[in-house]
Amino acid sequence: MDDTPNQAADVVVLGIFVADTTYTAARMPRMGETIMGTDFALGPGGKGSNQAVAAGRSGARTHLVTRIGRDAFGEMAERVWAEAGVTPRLCGDGMARTGAANIFIDAGTGDNAIIVFPGAGAGLCPDDLEECRDLLGAASVFLTQLEQPMPAAERGLRIARQEGTITILNPAPAPHSPLPGALLELCDYVTPNETEAEALSGIAVSDIPSAAAAAAALRAQGAGAVVITLGAMGALLSDAEGETHMPAHDAGPVRETTGAGDAFNGAFAAGLASGMAPRAALARAVVAAGISVTRPGAAASMANAAEIDKAVS
Ligand code: ADP
Ligand code: NA
């Protein structure tokens, strides 16, 4: 679909884009019922796309390997990437529809109910990654999640590892069972949140000591290093040098935490790609995520390099 030649890349993200359509009402509709809503928003979503936007805005030359359709949501995706300086590497023929998520929010309780249609993104396959081998090899960091089919993620991690590129797996959404050790062994970093860390390790994560225990368990399963994001408690890095807890960054009143993990992962990848040591990249990621939660929206709330630099120093 896209014949753009390979360009120099710091970060290559594999992942999907979906258009988030968010409907708010005083309560949830019952099955078969139609009710009037109080708010509507249309915006960019998809963890891979959001993480690429975060990496791009935080200063990395970023490419996104993905699939979208030739439709209005696909045009939205390309606009969002252009604004963030992200170069898309579009796979497939563009005939499948761009993904979309339908999010219902109960204004009374804040509860939500969501249907995600991955659309074209569900077509991402190992051959797509093989076609990007040069790009993955030229990059410093490869970052992926679990919203596209597992064989695509697995092939991307394997190629990046073969090509000497740092690999990061953000295991989101939470898998239903532990990941195969062979997959974790392809990861220089695995970056779950609390829920995902519990799903992968079987250890309930509620504080720093339990996060350290879950991280140790995931390293024993094969992951090189583990970063567990802990919401308002910040993040914990466990690697060969030991464990480091980085408290959350307070950038002001919290408005919306949707996409905080994506802000974190994109900035962490960008930091490593710029040659930072893991703990310096961790500090930068915590600052970028802390800024993002003070702003509405997911992709639109990502911090830029100047904002991050100012808060880090
Ligand atoms: P996810 O969005 O995947 O659930 P987390 O909730 O763990 O991820 O958030 C990712 C990162 O965002 C955290 O490690 C932290 O640095 C930052 N963060 C999240 N919530 C807050 C908050 N309320 N205040 C400050 N920083 C936050
Ligand atoms: Na946000």
Determine contact, residues 25/104, Cβ cutoff 8 Å.
Answer: yes
Mutate to test the pocket of ligand 1, among 194, 229, 249, 262 (most ligand atoms within 8 A of CB): 229
In short, whether 254's Cβ falls inside 6 Å of ligand 1 is: yes
**According to the model, what pLDDT value does residue 300 have?**
79
Omega cis (within 30) before 151:
no
In short, whether 231's Cβ falls inside 6 Å of ligand 1 is: yes
* 240 CA from centroid of ligand 2 (Å): 32
Tokens of 225: 């290093």
In short, whether 290's Cβ falls inside 6 Å of ligand 1 is: yes
Give all domains of the chain, ordered by start, each with its CATH number. 11-16+46-97+121-169+249-312 (3.40.1190.20)
Ligand in nearest proximity to the CA of 255: 2
For ligand 2, a single-atom ion, the residues with CB < 5 A are: 256, 259, 292, 301
* 229 CA from centroid of ligand 1 (Å): 6
**According to the model, what pLDDT value does residue 1 have?**
47
Backbone angles phi, psi at 175, to 5 degrees: -70, 160
* 162 CA from centroid of ligand 1 (Å): 32
Compute how many other C-beta atoms are within 10 angstroms of the C-beta atom of residue 51: 36
**Cα within 13 Å of Cα(41), Cβ side:** 13
| Given 10, 128, 239, 262, the catalytic residue | 262
In short, whether 289's Cβ falls inside 6 Å of ligand 1 is: yes
Determine contact, residues 226/238, Cβ cutoff 8 Å.
Answer: yes
DSSP secondary structure letters along 56-124: HHTT--EEEEE---SSHHHHHHHHHHHHHTEEEEE-S-S-SPEEEEEEEEETTT--EEEEEEEEGGGG-
Q: What is the ipTM of this complex?
A: 0.97
In short, whether 232's Cβ falls inside 6 Å of ligand 1 is: yes
Q: Which amino acid is at 163?
A: E
Protein residue with its CA nearest to atom 24 in ligand 1: 232
pLDDT tens-place values along the chain, 313 residues long: 444 444 577 999 999 999 999 999 999 999 999 999 999 999 999 999 999 999 999 999 999 999 999 999 999 999 999 999 999 999 999 999 999 999 999 999 888 899 999 999 999 999 999 999 999 999 999 999 999 999 999 999 999 999 999 999 999 999 888 888 899 999 999 999 999 999 999 999 999 999 999 999 999 999 999 999 999 999 999 999 999 999 999 999 998 888 899 999 999 999 999 999 999 999 999 999 999 999 987 787 899 999 999 999 7
3-state secondary structure of 11: strand
Q: What share of the chain is helix, strand, coil (3-state, %, to 5)?
A: 40, 25, 40
In short, whether 269's Cβ falls inside 6 Å of ligand 1 is: no
* Sole residue written with tokens 């990941």: 179
Protein residue with its CA nearest to atom 3 in ligand 1: 261
Residue 262 a catalytic site member = yes
**According to the model, what pLDDT value does residue 3 have?**
45
* 303 CA from centroid of ligand 2 (Å): 10
44, 53, 262 from 258: Cα distances, Å: 12, 14, 9
Tokens of 275: 């040659």
